[in-house]
Structure 1
């Protein structure tokens, strides 16, 4: 997809998050989420602060002055904790307002600035326009993390097509030392035919499933339902997701 088309997808995704949050009671918001140690309020606060952090990267690209995604990991964590205890209405308003601000910044980004290099908090570089795709992963994955009835089965098909393909390509490009348990595996999306060979050799183990099932498993948002392993056995635990985008490692200047 063209990155500008994804902005509308983000707006729709955040509206779905807002609707989910509006259906939660105060007790639900303080209840556990799909992320260990975080309440649903923590997840909602993170969704909002992530929009702000990616706005920072676009602002840096626009002005030509590097702006870090977050001032520090400690500041990131403190801001999430500070926001987690807000009321439902405050969290909903925060999630909506920060997405609107990010979308406005992305839609108005000049073409020259869109190609400017920015840097993720993890350290890897990418062109500014890729922040829109990074935000897409954040919106859909963290909606599932609210553990409030929305999961991989509900992810929009355009998101699944993009993220499943990107996830397989990026996983296949990870250094062997980062593959962990899936090392030696071949993973195949049965609907698209896309594969990731993780040091696989003929006769080695293979995992297969739809792109949706694979994305749920590899992103840690499902237990691997719909993914089949040959020979039979427990699915390996994938490395932390999302992975560094492999396409930019091969391009000059990145």
Structure 2
């Protein structure tokens, strides 16, 4: 999928988040999200600060001066704590304004810097255009994390198609030590046919399900409903997601 088309998908996802937040009371926003230790206000604040952080990467590509995604992990966490207690209207305004700023930056990125290297907070590099796809992950996954009625079943089909295929490809490129309990598995999306062999050999375990079911499970946004394992047994815990992209 062309990254320029993804900007519209991201914008639509942010509008859906604003709609969800608009249905929550301030007490709801203080309530626990699906992420341990984070309230819904923390999640909403993170969605906004993530837009700012990815804007930084695009600005670095535009100017040729490296700008870190976040000043530091401590600074990121402090900003989340500072913003989490705001009212619903304040959170919505922040989410929408920062999203619009990011989208404008992406839409006006000069063609000659699309492939300029930038660096994720965790240290791995990627071309500037991939920042838009990273934002797509953040918007859709963290909408689920609000624990306010939006789940993997609500993800738009274009996101599921891209993110499930990308997740399987990225996992297949991970070193065995990063696969955890999934080392040795084969994972297959029954509808798309996408497959990840994670050191699999004949007779080793396999997991399969629709692309949507697999994405929900592998992203940690579902309990694995709709995913089957052969031989029968409990689903293993997937490694932390999202993963470093498997080359460009």
Name 1:84's counterpart in structure 2: 84
Name 1:169's counterpart in structure 2: 169
Give the Cα–Cα distance (whole angstroms) in 2 for the partners of residues 17 and 123 of structure 1: 28
- Per-residue deviation, 1:175: 0.4
- Per-residue deviation, 1:121: 0.4
Give secondary structure in 2 for the equivalent of 1:188. Answer: strand
Name 1:68's counterpart in structure 2: 68
Name 2:148's counterpart in structure 1: 148
Name 1:192's counterpart in structure 2: 192
Name 1:251's counterpart in structure 2: none
State how 1:92-107 maps to structure 2 within 5 Å: 92-107=92-107
Name 1:252's counterpart in structure 2: none
- Per-residue deviation, 1:94: 0.1
TM-superposition CA deviations, 1:70-111 (whole Å, max 9, x none): 000000100011110010000000000000000000000001
Give the Cα–Cα distance (whole angstroms) in 2 for the partners of residues 236 and 75 of structure 1: 34
Give the Cα–Cα distance (whole angstroms) in 2 for the partners of residues 176 and 184 of structure 1: 8
Give secondary structure in 2 for the equivalent of 1:112. Answer: helix
Name 1:35's counterpart in structure 2: 35
Give secondary structure in 2 for the equivalent of 1:193. Answer: coil
Give secondary structure in 1 for the equivalent of 2:247. Answer: helix
Moved over 4 A (4+): none
- Per-residue deviation, 1:146: 0.2
Give secondary structure in 1 for the equivalent of 2:177. Answer: helix
Name 1:120's counterpart in structure 2: 120
- Per-residue deviation, 1:223: 0.1
- Per-residue deviation, 1:112: 1.0
TM-score, normalised via structure 2 length: 0.99
Name 1:19's counterpart in structure 2: 19
Q: How many residues align?
A: 248
- Per-residue deviation, 1:13: 0.2
Alignment gaps of 5+ in structure 1: 249-254
The answer to whether structure 1 residue 130 and structure 2 residue 130 are counterparts is yes
Name 2:9's counterpart in structure 1: 9
Alignment gaps of 5+ in structure 2: none
- Per-residue deviation, 1:231: 0.7
The answer to whether structure 1 residue 213 and structure 2 residue 203 are counterparts is no
TM-score, normalised via structure 1 length: 0.97
Give the Cα–Cα distance (whole angstroms) in 2 for the partners of residues 247 and 124 of structure 1: 11
Give secondary structure in 2 for the equivalent of 1:166. Answer: helix
Give secondary structure in 1 for the equivalent of 2:181. Answer: coil
